[in-house]
Amino acid sequence: MDKSYYFNEAFKIKYGYDSSTGLDEIDVKTIDQESLYKKIYRYFGFIVEANVNRKPPITMQKRFNGKYYKRFN
């Protein structure tokens, strides 16, 4: 793979480089973004799934309120 792609915060391609042609910048309009996104998801989708499906962190304030609410109110 001789191409490098750079994305913005919204995961849209900002620009890309092709190192096989001497680091020439790739025109963003010529990139098949849909197939690129599918390829990225195929290789790194397990990271996305792990972050989407994980449980939220325990809120200590909620546990504290449940145990000591009547004592302080």
Helix (H) or strand (E) holding 5: strand 3-7
Residue 62, both tokens: 């909620």
Q: What ranges do the domains of the chain cover?
A: 3-72
pLDDT band for 1, please (50, 70, 90 cuts).
low
Between CA 32 and CA 56 the distance in angstroms is: 35
pTM of the predicted protein model: 0.53
pLDDT per residue over 13-66, tens digit each? 888 888 887 768 888 888 888 998 898 889 888 877 776 666 667 777 787 888
CB atoms within 10 A of CB 54: 8
pLDDT of residue 66: 80
Q: Which residue is associated with the tokens 């790739």? A: 26
